[in-house]
């Protein structure tokens, strides 16, 4: 083709665009692995703060990624957002937590909410903090 250069490498020839794409994929893979490691550290820190262990559930957020809902041994809860479902799964696996398919049943019943969550759920109707406009 007229607008694609050819590079010579040990295995033969390949288009210059293929080399750039491979480099871009390698950079994206490194970013994803760094994100997995960071999320795994955050999950492990959550578990340490909440009784030494945690369980989780991963939910799709569409194009935004995936939400990891965590429930600690002390029934405290929190959540994290990962850039993709695959990154969330790898982070949970790396942190060594049990991941449930659904957030219902025993796991949902264990969640302990505090005054902050109740005021946010009720919003300004019962004097909770106002939502930012």
What is the Cα–Cα distance from 50 to 58, expressed in whole angstroms? 19
Residue 99 has pLDDT above 90, yes or no: yes
Give the per-residue pLDDT at 69. 94
Residue 125 has pLDDT above 80, yes or no: no
| Confidence tier at 109 by pLDDT (50, 70, 90) | confident
CA 4 to chain centre: 38
Asked if 59 and 66 touch (Cβ cutoff 8 Å), the reply is yes
Token pair belonging to 104? 């219902």
Give the per-residue pLDDT at 8. 45
Residue 28 has pLDDT above 80, yes or no: yes
Burial 21-54 (b: 16+ CB within 10 A, else e): eeeeeeeeeeebeebbeebbebbbebbeebeeeb
Mean pLDDT lowest for which of 15-24, 49-58, 93-102? Answer: 15-24
Mean pLDDT lowest for which of 1-10, 60-69, 106-115? Answer: 1-10
Nearest to 84 by CA among 64, 69, 68: 64
Give the per-residue pLDDT at 33. 94
Token pair belonging to 78? 């929190």
Give the per-residue pLDDT at 18. 65
Give the per-residue pLDDT at 122. 63
CA dihedral 95, 99, 103, 109 (to 10 degrees): -80
Token pair belonging to 23? 């480099």
- Mean pLDDT across 79-108: 93
Interval 80-89: pLDDT, tens: 999 999 999 9
The residues near 18 (Cβ < 8 Å, ≥ 6 apart) are: none
| Confidence tier at 61 by pLDDT (50, 70, 90) | very high
């Amino acid at each position: 083709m007229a607008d694609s250069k050819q590079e010579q490498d040990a295995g033969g020839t390949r288009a210059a665009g293929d080399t750039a794409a491979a480099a871009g994929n390698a950079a994206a893979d490194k970013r994803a692995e760094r994100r997995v490691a960071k999320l795994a550290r955050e999950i492990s820190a959550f578990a340490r703060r909440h009784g030494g262990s945690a369980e989780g559930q991963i939910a799709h957020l569409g194009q935004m990624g995936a939400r990891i809902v965590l429930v600690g041994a002390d029934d405290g809860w929190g959540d994290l957002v990962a850039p993709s479902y695959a990154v969330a799964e790898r982070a949970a696996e790396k942190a060594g937590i049990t991941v449930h398919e659904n957030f219902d049943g025993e796991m949902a019943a264990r969640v302990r909410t505090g005054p902050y969550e109740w005021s946010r759920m009720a919003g300004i109707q019962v004097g909770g903090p106002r939502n930012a406009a």
